Structure 1
Amino acid sequence: MGSRGSFYMTYGLCVSSGLTCLIMVVFWNWRWRGGFAWDGTEAQFNWHPVLMIAGMLVLYGLAAVLFRVPWGWSHEKRTWKLLHAGLMLAALALAAVGLHAAFHVHSTLNIPSMFSLHSWVGMSAVVTFAWQWILGLLSFLLPCSAPLLGRYMKGLHVWTGQAVLMLTLAACISGINEQLSFALDGVGASAYSSLPAEAIFGNMLGILTVVFSTLVFGILSKANWRRPAANTNEEAAPILLREETRP
C-alpha cells in the first residue's frame, strides 16, 4: 500500500473514531445521565462533556490534521488556512458554551467549581487554545501580520497545538473518571468498582478518546504525510490581504 493509501486508511480510522466518541458521549448522557436541557439542572450539565469532546477533542483534532489530506495539496494553501482557522474558531466556541453550561449549573446548585485536577487541566487546555488561536490570527491571517513573524511563529504554533490536544486528552480522561465516580458513588451493584453497564461504557469512551488522539498524533508525526513546501513568500504572507497586494 502506498503512502497515500496508508494515509487515507489512517485518516478514515481517525474520523470514524472521532465521530464514535461524539455518538458515545451523547448516548451516555442521554441513556444514564437524564438527557439534555438548559434550565440550570444536572440535565444542563450534560451538555458540558458533549460540547467539550465535540469541540476540544474531535473538531480540534480533525482541524489539526487538515493540511495532511493529500486531496487539498493541489489547491491554494490560503483556502485551507482559512478553513483551518474557521474550524478551530468553531471548536473554541463549542468549548466556551460547554464551560458556560458547567459553571452555570455549579452556580445554580451551589456546587464548587475549579477544585479538581480535571477542572485545572481542562481550563489550561481552553486558555492555551484561546491564546494559540489569537496568536495564529495575528501571525498568519491579518494584513498587518509580518511575514517574518509568521515564519518565526509557525513552529511554536504547531508545538502549542499538540500541547493543547494532550491537555484535552488528559481533561477528557479525568473528566470521564470524575463523572463516573460521582454518579456511581455508592455500594452494591451500582458502585463503580462493581463495573455496572454505565461504568463499562464510560471506560470504553475514555479508551476511544485515547485511540482518536493517538491517530491524530500519528498523522501529525509522519514526515511524508506533510503538505509539500510551497513558495516561502506565499507560505509566510498574511492570507487576508487583497489579491492585488500579495507578493
Structure 2
Amino acid sequence: MNCESFGSEREQTVGLLSNNMEARAEAQKTKHYKALYTFATSIGVGTLILMLFWILHYRGGFAWQSNPDQQFYWHPFLMFLGMLFLYSQSMLVYRTYRTSAKKNLKLTHAAIHFLAFILSVIGLKAVFDSHNYAKTPIPNLYTLHSWIGLITVIIFATQFLAGFVTFLYPGLAGSIRKAAMPVHTAFGAGLFILALIAAISGIMEKAVWTLGSEYAHFKAEGVVFNFMGIFIALYGVLVIYLVNESDYKRTPLPEDQIALSHSE
C-alpha cells in the first residue's frame, strides 16, 4: 500500500469519526431540547387548566354579551392562549420540528401567529364589551395593564405583517431577509416578554379588584391567582431559554440553501 492510499483511508476514517461525533452531539442536544420543551409545554397546558378551573369554579364560567360580567372571563383565557401559549409554540416551531422543510415551518409559524392574533382580538373585544355593557359602565384603558396589553397586541400585529411580507409573501430578496432576521427575532422575544408582563399584571389587578382586603387573608381563590402568576412566569422563563439557547438552534438543511439561492 502506497503512502497516498494510506493517507486517503486515514482521512476517510477521521471524517467518519468526526461525522459520528457530530451526529451524537446533535442527538444529545435534540434529546435535551425535547425534555425541556415537554416540561415547558406541560407548564403552559397546566396554566390553561388552572385558569379554566378558576373561571368555572370561582367565577361562574363563560358567557357573551348577554352577560357582560361573565363575558369578561374570555379575556384572560384567550389572551393567555393566544399571546403566550400559541405565540410561544410558534416561536419554537423551528426548533421543535428541526428536521422539517423550512418552507413548511414558515407556513406553520405564520398560521399559528395568525390564530394567536385572532384569539387576542376576540379577547380584547370581550373585555371592552364587559366594560361597556355592564350595568354601570367601567372606563377603558386607564390601567398600566391595559396600556401594556394593547401596545403588545398592536406591535404583534405589525410584527406579523412585516414578517409575512418579508419572509413569506411576496418574500423579499435573500440578502434582505438575512439582514431582517435578527431584528425579527429580537422583536419577537421582546413582544413575548411584554405579553408576560401584561398577563402577570392583569392577574394581580384582577386579584386585588375581585378579592379586595380578603386577598391578604390567604383566601383559596387568592392562592389560585398566585399560582397562575407563578406558572406564567415559569413558563415564560423556560420559553425564553429555549428560544435563545444556541445549542437548540435548527441546523439548516441542504434544501434550505437551494430555496434561498432560487429566491435571490
Instruction: With the length of structure 2 as denominator, give the TM-score of the two structures.
Output: 0.84
CA displacement, residues 53-98 of structure 1 (integer Å, 9 cap, x when unaligned): 00001111111111112xx333211001100110011001100000
In the alignment, the residues of structure 1 paired with residue 94 and residue 162 of structure 2 have an alpha-carbon distance, to the nearest angstrom, of 19
User: Which residue of 117, 126, 129 corresponds with 2:153?
Assistant: 126
Report the structure, 1 or 2, having the larger helix content: 2
Find the structure with the greater CA-based Rg. 2
Shift of the alpha carbon at 1:230? Answer: 4.5
Alpha carbons of 1:159 and 1:246: their partners in 2 closer, same or farther (altered >3 Å)?
closer
Task: Find out whether 1:33 has 2:59 as its counterpart.
Answer: yes
Residue type of the alignment partner of 1:7: Y
Shift of the alpha carbon at 1:46? Answer: 0.5
Task: Find out whether 1:167 has 2:194 as its counterpart.
Answer: yes
Shift of the alpha carbon at 1:224? Answer: 1.3
Query: What's 1:218 paired with?
Result: 241
In the alignment, the residues of structure 1 paired with residue 211 and residue 198 of structure 2 have an alpha-carbon distance, to the nearest angstrom, of 20
Contact 2:87 2:113 in 1 (8 A): yes
Deviates more, 1:146-155 or 1:198-207: 146-155
Shift of the alpha carbon at 1:31? Answer: 1.1
Shift of the alpha carbon at 1:44? Answer: 0.3
Alpha carbons of 1:172 and 1:204: their partners in 2 closer, same or farther (altered >3 Å)?
same
- Gaps of at least 5 residues in structure 1 are 238-244
Query: What's 1:180 paired with?
Result: 207
Residue type of the alignment partner of 1:104: D
Deviates more, 1:148-157 or 1:89-98: 148-157
In the alignment, the residues of structure 2 paired with residue 14 and residue 234 of structure 1 have an alpha-carbon distance, to the nearest angstrom, of 34
In the alignment, the residues of structure 2 paired with residue 235 and residue 218 of structure 1 have an alpha-carbon distance, to the nearest angstrom, of 29
User: What RMSD over aligned residues (CA atoms) do the two structures have, in Å?
Assistant: 1.8
- The equivalences for 1:38-53 within 5 A come to 38=64, 39-53=66-80
Q: Which has the higher contact order (CA 8 A, sep 6+)?
A: 1
Contact 1:24 1:205 in 2 (8 A): yes
State the aligned residue count.
234
Instruction: With the length of structure 1 as denominator, give the TM-score of the two structures.
Output: 0.89
Fraction of identical pairs, as percent: 32
In the alignment, the residues of structure 1 paired with residue 220 and residue 73 of structure 2 have an alpha-carbon distance, to the nearest angstrom, of 18
Query: What's 2:105 paired with?
Result: 80
- The equivalences for 1:135-150 within 5 A come to 135-143=162-170, 145-150=172-177
